Amino acid sequence: MLQTSYIRDNKALIIERLKKRNFEAETIISQIIELDDNRKKTQHELDALLAESNQLAKQIGDLFKSGKAAEANELKTKTTELKEQSNKLKEDQNLINDELLQLLYQVPNVPNDIVPAGKSDADNEIVFNEGEVPVLHDKAVPHWELAKQYDLIDFELGVKITGAGFPVYKGKGARLQRALISFFIDQAVENGYEEIIPPLMINEASGYGTGQLPDKEGQMYYMQADDLYMIPTAEVPITNLYRDVMLKESDLPIKNVGYTPCFRREAGSYGKDVRGLNRLHQFDKVEIVQIQHPDKSYETLDVMVNHVKNLLNKLELPYRVAKLCGGDLGFTSALTFDMEVYSAAQEKWLEVSSISNFETFQANRLKCRFKDAEGKTQLVHTLNGSALALPRILASLLENNQTPEGIKIPKALIPYTGFDMIN
């Protein structure tokens, strides 16, 4: 959520930058500033009434001490009127604050200056490529057929138990999945991240804190009886560890990693692109999160991108890095890089990670702050990245490493799987 002070000081820049998102902000920004003016005006009037009430209270006390009860009682009548006026102003103030908050919730984060303009993922800018696209043998098949051939994943059994988008991993498929999770966590811990096992459900305040609510409400599974949401990513509970927290500058950066299942309704997702592991309602993901000093967050973003690059290099997967355009940028992000792995059997690039800098957008909602060396309170910057999401990584590993003799396991994973071939 943008700060009203930032909106006031940067109105023209915000309106211009949000055009990269194809978001026409002029009207809502003007409404926010007008409401903020009303809020300040109401607060000024309320402060004046409270000051007058305090002054009268002192006068009344002095009059009673002087034995002038009649005069004191006359003033008490006036203080009652002032109290009624104050209560009315407080009601007005609450209404203004609520209306202002709802408007602020509707404004997405301001894109960084280097975010390209564009309407969809077709306008994203490829900034890096690594690895050779594998040439498969003549009888190569996509991962959903490999999963059936080697009894690794049972999609039909998942439909029986729950429904489409909830696969059952079996045998070496389950071991490979578990190996990837352990490998990703170990790599993060080696790079200074503290492991967290968070809850898989969040309350409404947590959803608002990181920006899933109200923006992504329709994509989240909601438990109405308990007023709780299933998490769409570990980013949400981990980042909310620092909601309403005042940090010290020496605490920064805070680096956390967490593995969780993730739950997404994926409403409106149909067609060939959702087949097999390409798009699921429940999937596993390892997430890295950093709480960082504002002066260092973009340096940190580069470090996080390099961390994911290193993982993909060790998995021996061809990949590319895309800088997201404004039209494809997430609601809360100021700058995002997507990592895409090439799926040889499907002959397409699959997104396996998003690494984002949210600047102060989440921190303002979370009220996550720190005191700098001069004692001044500042909002932190928050960042997160998938390191990595497993379904499409697993799909690419199976497809790209298939041979007539079986599926080869990358060297980095063999200590985790205990086998070097699926056959």
Q: Which residue numbers belong to the known binding site for ATP? A: 264-266, 351-354
As a three-state string, the secondary structure of the chain is CCCHHHHHHCHHHHHHHHHHHCCCCHHHHHHHHHHHHHHHHHHHHHHHHHHHHHHHHHHHHHHHHCCCHHHHHHHHHHHHHHHHHHHHHHHHHHHHHHHHHHHHHHCCCCCCCCCCCCCCHHHCEEEEEECCCCCCCCCCCCHHHHHHHCCCEEHHHHHHHCCCCCCEECHHHHHHHHHHHHHHHHHHHHCCCEEECCCCEECHHHHHHHCCCCCCHHHCCEECCCCEEECCCCHHHHHHHHCCCEEEHHHCCEEEEEEEEEECCCCCCCCHHHCCCCCCCEEEEEEEEEEECHHHHHHHHHHHHHHHHHHHHHCCCCEEEEECCHHHCCCCCCEEEEEEEEECCCCEEEEEEEEEECCCHHHHHHCCEEECCCCCEEECEEEEEEEEEHHHHHHHHHHHCEECCEEECCHHHHHHHCCCEEC
Question: Which residues sit in the known binding site for L-serine?
Answer: 233, 264, 287, 384
Q: Which residues are annotated as a binding site?
A: 233, 264-266, 287, 351-354, 384
